[in-house]
Chains A and B, each alone.
Chain A
Amino acid sequence: DIQMTQSPASLSASLGETVTIECRASEDIYSNLAWYQQKPGNSPQLLIYDANSLADGVPSRFSGSGSGTQYSLKINSLQSEDVASYFCQQYNNYPFTFGSGTKLEIK
């Protein structure tokens, strides 16, 4: 199975700041990577697919980048509604696997 190592596990930032979450795959996943946001008590919601494509309805302050084994999610101009956990997921190989998540809080 492909291991997805996500960092940091938690993050605290101020409103308006830019934050970056990283995800490293144990092997090349050829940009077959998605990012999800999960607010407390809710189901995960798709943010990014194919490493850098914004899902429908997702604000443009979210962006994804990377290739090979290294990927990142950037959130510009942090808003209060961005408080959530964020997960990466690879779909290059079965079984699809997820990162362990990053919990984002506002300072």
Chain B
Amino acid sequence: QVQLQQSGAELVKPGSSVKLSCKASGYTFTDYAMKWVKQRTGQGLEWIGVIDPEIDATAYNEKFKGKATLTADTSSNTAYMELSRLTSEDSAVYYCTRPSTVAAGWFAYWGQGTLVTVSS
């Protein structure tokens, strides 16, 4: 079955960077794009961007350009998201997600989320 296993919680200092991982299993990693979503505590969800691991192409929500960088390692079936110049506004749970079909716009599979806390 499809599984997305995300890395553990991070406590990071303002101004620093953090790299989150999402290891995929149960399907062919290069067949599906991986999308990332942000959720601040008690608040709604924001789409950050998407990476196509097969061609290493990315697309970002304008709001997250310069903040998030998406990469993928096809040898380990792992997607990564690096967040830079962290501020308190970046404290949130970050999810990796996968659609149910190649062309689907909805998020059928979700990782368990990675909590990022930005604090000095």
Q: Which residues on B sit within 8 Å (CB–CB) of A52?
A: none
- Main DSSP-derived SS at the A contact region: loop
The yes or no answer to A49 lying at the interface (CB within 8 A) is: yes
Q: How large is the interface on B (under 10, 10 to 19, 20 to 34, 35 or more residues)?
A: 20 to 34
Report which residue of B61, B63, B107 has the largest number of chain A beta carbons within 10 angstroms of its beta carbon. Answer: B107
Q: B113 an interface residue at 8 Å Cβ cutoff?
A: yes
Kindly state whether residue A62 has any CB partner on chain B within 8 Å: no
Count residues of chain A with CB under 8 A from any CB of chain B: 21
Chain B contact residues, majority secondary structure:
loop
Assess whether A43 is in contact with B113, with CB atoms less than 8 Å apart. Answer: yes
**Which of B61, B95, B104 lies in contact with A95, CB distance below 8 A?**
B61
Identify the closest chain B residue to A103 (Cβ).
B42
Tell me which of A34, A45, A55, A101 contacts B44 (CB under 8 A): A101
Interface residues of A (CB under 8 A from B): 32, 34, 36, 43-46, 49, 55, 87, 89, 91-92, 94-101
